[in-house]
Structure 1
Amino acid sequence: LSQPGQHWIGNSMAVLAAVLAAGGDLASAGLAMAEMGGLAGRGARHEVAIAGGTAHLIDESYNANPASMAATIGQLGLSGGGRRIAVLGSMKELGDKGDDYHRALAAPLAAAKVDFAILVGKEMAILADELKAGVEGPKEFAHCATAQEALALLQQYLCASDTILVKGSNSMGLSTIVSALTGGKN
């Protein structure tokens, strides 16, 4: 598979099952999945030129739910090289358990050894409060109201060889961060 991460395996198996059920060519389907790159907002990867080199950007800015947040944060944890930075926007439309789902992101952030988390949106204030209270997670974090505030903070912090994950519900507007860092190539 062209996309890294175990969470792609189940989806890919479902695609292959559908191809088989429809009488399609499994070999061609497998090759297509091997060549399929990430889409804007859904796994696209970019090299971002910054002073002294490049940083690696993972664009997951289009959608967020508890399972996809945990999966992509876990994938960030597998990145090598420099620091791991997570820019996480609020997950929307979670109902009564929304606070619990946001609070629960501390564990995947800790497991992924995220160095710095920028938490964006009012729902992410719950996670910021958890981290302030000393729950295991990144020691460096900030809470911002908007994507523009998060971008300004990220630009001050960003160094060569960092890996940045940008993930949140589309309504949070985190794609503007990706556009700013890539010069509109998202």
Structure 2
Amino acid sequence: MALLYTWKPLHSIRYLIPSCVSILRAEYPKCKADLLPELAKHELNHAPCSYGLVEHPDDKRDEETLVGHVRFLPVTNRQGAVYAEGFCIDVEKRRKGIGELGTLRAEHLAREQGYKELFTSIYPHFKEFYLKQSWSIFKKPLHTLGANLLHTNTSVNGGPIFVSWPGNTLYPGWEWVYEGGIMATEEALAGEFSGIVMVKYLKR
């Protein structure tokens, strides 16, 4: 039986949101995935928008299942750019090539929506994975709208967990979510806990 994979906005597959919450919590134990049902009520297609990676068999009698998550956010200082965060695959579905497939499908989704650049932030040990898929390291300042609303960051080597940072505008109406978190400074972002910003230039 062949399996197909498609990124779908969570607001269009609300019955699968509980599965998405479980996947996010397994990957990021301290995240605020419980916000997803309420967020889905307010989101439209494109960005900001959370997407679920849906696995659907070619036999329509079988049910769809959710196997991954990503959230698209506007990049406010680069025209035609979008930022992807909170990308993760169900732990039970890993080591089957779904992570690479999900990344390629996310690139396709961004291209379909008219974006020219797709950004993401990764930990150093994922760098080779992205470089092999023709992503590039990006070293200029990147400004976002509503980044890390779900608090999906995790600590690296005991470092701080940044909730927001310079260049990120808080998601209008959801500012309360960020209260009590850590605002990264420019100095902290230049340190070992900042991760690496990657970009994929999307060709037509």
TM range (shorter): 0.3 to 0.5
Q: Which has the higher contact order (CA 8 A, sep 6+)?
A: 1
Q: What TM-score results when the alignment is normalised by the length of structure 1?
A: 0.36
TM-score normalised by L of structure 2? 0.34
Richer in helix (by share): 1
